[in-house]
Amino acid sequence: MKRKSDQYWKSNIKIVSSLLVIWFIASFGFGIIFSESLDQIKIGGFKLGFWFAQQGSIYVFVLIIFLYVWLMKRLDKKLSQEKDK
Amino acid sequence: MTTQLLTYIFVGVSFALYIGIALWSKAQSTNDFYVAGKGVHPVANGMATAADWMSAASFLSMAGLIAFLGKDGSVYLMGWTGGYVLLALLLAPYLRKFGKFTVPDFIGERYYSKAARKLAVICLIFISFTYIAGQMRGVGIVFSRFLEVDINTGVIVGMAIVFFYAVLGGMKGITYTQVAQYCVLIFAYLVPAIFISILMTGNPIPQIGFGSTMVDSDIYLLDKLDQVTKDLGFTAYTENVKSNIDIFCITAALMFGTAGLPHVIVRFFTVPNVGAARQSAGYALIFIALLYTTAPAVSAFARMNLIDSIQDQPYSTSPSWFKNWEEIGLIAWKDKNMDGKIQYSSGNALDDIKPKYTNDRGDSGERVVENIPNLSNGNEIYIDRDIIVLANPEIAQLPGWVIALVAAGGLAAALSTAAGLLLVISSSISHDLLKKTYMPNITEKQELRYARIAAAVAIGIAGIFGIYPPAFVAQVVAFAFGLAAATFFPALFLGIFYKRLNKEGAIAGMLSGLIFTASYIIYFKFINPEINNADFWFLGISPEGIGAVGMILNFSLALVISSLTNPPPNEVLSMVDEIRQP
């Protein structure tokens, strides 16, 4: 039992930290640090760095949370199935 | 029908709706009053969280700020949405599992200390009152401009409404009125944005419209805006003025601050279970993103329209919105070159920035200001950034009902946030200070009564802030986020993810974050405002971004002090194990 909940926590940490890497790259990376270099690329009227800073990062944030909800639901299910065994 | 009559109808109907909901959802127990009986559906909670979160600042001020800041305005967009990722992944599910009533509750129990609980209550009250002052100012502006009543009357009406549903319904009443308020505010925000987007670019979706070409031309709107702003002596609209390190720190302070704001966190205590808490953070962010992705489009449209409609216009034929806002005192014109025309360019038009009006009228009929004109630049107008969203429909010449709708939306945004803040203030007093610290023997009924009294007193104080707005409202917004990032976020995060963190570490961390961040902001904003610029800042970080440094200080000190003192007791360790399980 103890081992299972430790495993659950480890998988949880793995999910959370990989999603936070995406979070960091989309906002602090594309929106700030590399924003000026990305501005060389243009999509329609948007410079790409500007678009990430004012639009793109927000869309990525929404996707991250729903991905998290889905991954955690799967993980919770696995845990409760193992408990039932 | 006149715009004013329409505004009375829209505002009146929305207020009646809020009161109706309050009567329907009266709180019966402390569980109802603090956390709405923990039975709120994730989607409803998502809407309530969005309304709770999007304040007068988001609705009224943000697009205006971005319109003038250009790309630098991204700090607000990323900062105030990115925090939800942290909240959803690192805090909300676990705090819901913990299952108590308030944020100081968690800090008090996790760090087995009344001192930590009291420190948390102090931070919470400070952060929340700072925030409320801004809401009441928003209510005042809307009332005085659109309903032409005295600002004080406006504040009192607003207080009466909030009093009614917050004191009666507690969290339950607030939650369902916030759902209604979200619908009102998002509709009011999107309708004019869609109209203006069609007018300017022919595209009904503002998020795409501001990256499209202008109507009747093949020039992209943002390219044109870059050109026009450069011609007037500003930095191009889509380029940064602030340094990267400052942008980085402000964004971080706003993100971590958002995740640490008690009135937002407590919303996740109201859903039935951990899974619902996760989901509802996702819904909340969708509902927020709807406004936050529209705002930068509104900003770009507004800046373009503003320049187009006043530049080189004779004052005598300037649009009526220009004169209306001048009457309220949020626009001023000083004809520096005496040609009778309005010239707008970079730099402050007046010394002391804010206009001081005399009772006289100038040659063109404008209100005369006694400020000395700043002759180092050719800019002739002062525009308060708060008016952009409210003036935008008028600037774009939209019909009267759209303007009335925006007024109702602004009030919904301000009132919903004020109510959420009042609730966390009152529950931290009745629950954390009275029940859990000074008066442990009171019954639940008495506690509920104290909660209502505390809510009533807090509304009174908030109203006083609205009627006698402290001159420093705008200055202290940095406080709320900086302090939340530097005090609450590390204490909550480590409390869940680092078992070894003990009482001594947590208290030392929160105190150091609080003292460092507060001193830095007070020093640059109040003691020595004249040296508040990048040459004097620590590593080039502005007071708005210093919360990020305060947070790192908090983390480091908490970890070091913890490792030098005794580990937390076993009950606490098993409590942490418990909240880590779904």
Can you give the pLDDT at residue A49? Answer: 87
Q: The CATH number of the domain where B254 resides is what? A: 1.20.1730.10
The answer to whether residue B504 sits within a structural domain is no
What's the pLDDT at B286? 94
| Co-location of B251 and B359 in the same domain | no
- When pLDDT is averaged across residues B322-347 and rounded to a whole number, the result is 79
B335: domain range?
320-395
B154 falls within a domain: yes
For residue B260, is it within any domain?
Answer: yes
Residue B544 lies in a domain: no
pLDDT for the residue B437 = 73
Q: B395, B420, B448 — which closes off a domain?
A: B395
Domain ranges of chain A: 13-79
For residues B298 and B391, membership in a common domain is answered with no
Domains: count for chain B: 2
Q: Domain ends where: B375, B395, B415?
A: B395
**Yes or no, beta carbons of B580 and A12 under 8 Å apart:** yes
* Chain B residue closest in CA terms to A49: B238
Inspect the interface and report whether the beta carbons of B223 and A33 lie closer than 8 Å. Answer: no
ipTM of the complex: 0.94
Q: Is residue B452 located within the same domain as residue B329?
A: no
**pLDDT confidence band for A85 (50 / 70 / 90):** low
Nearest Cα of chain A lies from the Cα of B304 at a distance, in angstroms, of 15
Structure tokens at B327: 């009457």
- Locate the chain A residue with the closest alpha carbon to B289: A58
Whether chain A has a CB inside 8 Å of the CB on B579: the answer is no
**Hey, is the C-beta of A46 within 8 angstroms of any chain B C-beta?**
yes
Categorize the per-residue pLDDT at B78 as very low, low, confident or very high, splitting at 50, 70 and 90: very high
CA B316, CA B45: separation in Å to the nearest integer?
50
Distance, CA of B463 to CA of B418 (rounded, Å): 10
Let me know whether B105 and B190 are in one domain: yes
Query: Are B14 and B40 found together in one domain?
Result: yes
Same domain, B109 and B139: yes
CB contact under 8 A, B279 and A54: no
Q: Which of B130, B241, B242, B126 is nearest to B545 (CA)?
A: B242
pLDDT on residue B302: 85
* Final residue of a structural domain among B465, B492, B512: B465
Residue A24 predicted with pLDDT over 90: yes
Chain position carrying tokens 């081992």: A3
**Ranges A19-28, A52-61, B309-318: which has the least confidence:** B309-318
pTM: 0.88
For chain B, the first-to-last Cα distance in angstroms comes to 56
Residue B565 counted as domain residue: no
Interface test with A, best of B278, B294, B493, B578 (most A CBs within 10 A): B278
Kindly report, residue by residue over B105-128, the tens digit of the pLDDT.
888 888 888 888 888 888 888 888
Pair B291, B412 in one domain: yes
**Mean pLDDT along residues B485-506:** 90
Q: Whole-angstrom Cα distance, residue B196 to residue B53?
A: 25
Kindly state whether residues B64 and B174 are assigned to the same domain: yes
Is residue B93 in a domain? yes
Kindly state whether residues B389 and B403 are assigned to the same domain. Answer: no
Is the model more confident about B235 or about B498? B498
Same domain, B59 and B184: yes
With a CB-CB cutoff of 8 Å, which residues 196-235 of chain B face chain A?
A: 207-208, 210-213, 220-223
Closest C-alpha among B468, B481, B60 to residue B259 = B481
B276 to chain A: nearest residue by CA? A69
Asked if the structure places residue B444 within a domain, the reply is yes
How far apart CA B549 and CA B543 sit, in angstroms, is 10
Q: Are residues B52 and B183 in the same domain?
A: yes
* Whether residue B233 sits in one domain with residue B262: yes
Nearest to A68 among B88, B222, B286 (CB): B88
Over the range B323-359, which residues count as b (16 or more CB within 10 Å of their CB) and which as e? ebbbeeebbbbbbbeeeebbbbbeeebbeeeebeeee
Q: Residue B505 domain-assigned?
A: no
Interface test with A, best of B91, B208, B238, B291 (most A CBs within 10 A): B238
Chain B: closest CA distance from residue A85 (Å):
18
Comparing alpha-carbon positions, the chain A residue that sits nearest to B77 is: A54
